[in-house]
Copies of this chain bind each other. A is one copy, B any other.
Amino acid sequence: MDSFEFMSPTKFILDKDADLLCGREIKNYSDNVLFVHYGDKYTYESGLYDRIMGAIKEAEIECYELPGVQPNPRVSLVREGIKICREHNIGCILAVGGGSVIDTAKAVGIGVFYDGDVWDYYSKKAVPTKSLPVGTVMTLPATGSEGSNGSVLKNDETGESADVMGDILRPKFTLMNPQLTMTLPKKQTVYGIIDIFSHVLERYFSTSVDAHLTDYMCEGVMKSIIVNANTLMKDLNDYNARAELMWTSVIAHNGLLGTGRNQDWATHTIGAQLSANYNSVHGATLSVLFPNWAKYVYKNNIPRFAQFAHRVFDVPVDLDPEQAALEGIGKMREFFSSMGAPEKLSDIGITSDEKFDKMSNDACRFGNIGGIMTLTPEDVKRIYQLSM
């Protein structure tokens, strides 16, 4: 078990009407708010917009809006938000949506207190030390941003994606109404599930030894994801499974499951290049890549992959460890495929290897990646090839 520092100060509330508590929670910090949202058809037509606006007004909070967040959120919108906050001396930000909205809100929160351009935080030219309080109303369990210490943005001008991390980015409160996720279509549900599952995998495939507590917790969380995913594949309207996934999204990515161990994160980095170059959906890249990454690296730590197989997928313990490891990887693929998730790059529209060199080099632009096995650009390219 390695040394660690961990905090997750967010107040989490899960309830059928949790979103309606936003007025009360904002009021703990401010009499005005910046309400950040997608501003899409769903937001208005589902009644979500009216619910939130009603709750804000009932609490007598002055409301300013920042609609228009897109998937892979843009820094240009963040700059607009910062401007509004400064103009109106705003004291709290409410993000209503999924990871893109929350990451935008977090960026506005830290940007308000910085004299330079907020992208400096993402290009690591500056480190945020202060933020406006940010609260969230979760509508898409996947990225875990509602409990995490990170924010990912895209730079409109350069096309570059980058993140900023720090406990200052953790939301003050996160309101989880599972009913808001009941209407999520199957595809988004599945990609959310794979994103959540992958956040555990990245922490689980560690070279730290004797982290029994986090091992068992990671395994338990993965087992619960499988149970709830199976339920949802039979009935997307299952409230309980929706509620559990909502909470699992937080647990998988607030850092708890990484305490006392190093982590891998190569697959996320390899996948990010697909999103940057082909606009591929994050969950889809993980579905394609994770089993292939595992097949490529497992020989570096057969006991860990065998343990994964035994404890998460009930592969018999009396099997030869290497065979067990491979069976576990096969079961991971089966789990993803059982939900209709893509297996190959061609399933997500990538049929040529023309960008493999560029993507492999870009994936390793800050140095070689991964923990279980340190991957060079050549290794990354091989994983792309394996995924064709």
Within the assembled complex, what's the spacing in Å between the Cα atoms of A251 and B254? 14
Within the assembled complex, what's the spacing in Å between the Cα atoms of A223 and B243? 26
Q: Which of B6, B219, B243 contacts A260 (CB 8 A)?
A: B243
Within the assembled complex, what's the spacing in Å between the Cα atoms of A6 and B176? 12
Residues of A in contact (CB 8 Å), total 40
Q: A4-B13, A243-B1 given as contacts; is B220 within 8 A of A224 (CB)?
A: no
The answer to the question of A240 belonging to the interface, with a C-beta cut-off of 8 Å to chain B, is: yes
**How many copies make up the complex?**
2
The answer to the question of A259 belonging to the interface, with a C-beta cut-off of 8 Å to chain B, is: yes
The answer to the question of A216 belonging to the interface, with a C-beta cut-off of 8 Å to chain B, is: yes
The answer to the question of A126 belonging to the interface, with a C-beta cut-off of 8 Å to chain B, is: no
Q: Which residues of the other chain, B, contact A368 by a CB distance below 8 angstroms?
A: none
Q: Which residues of the other chain, B, contact A10 by a CB distance below 8 angstroms?
A: 7
Whether the pair A260, B14 counts as a contact (CB closer than 8 A) is: yes
Whether the pair A213, B224 counts as a contact (CB closer than 8 A) is: yes
0/1 string, A204-226, CB within 8 A of B gives 1: 00000011110111011101100
Q: A213-B220, A256-B256 are known; give 20 further A-B pairs, CB within 8 A.
A: A1-B244, A1-B247, A5-B12, A6-B13, A7-B11, A8-B9, A212-B223, A212-B227, A212-B228, A212-B244, A213-B224, A213-B228, A213-B248, A213-B251, A215-B220, A217-B221, A220-B220, A243-B260, A244-B260, A247-B259
Which A residues have a C-beta under 8 Å from some C-beta of B?
Answer: 1, 3-16, 18, 167, 210-213, 215-217, 219-221, 223-224, 227-228, 240, 243-244, 247-248, 251, 256, 259-260
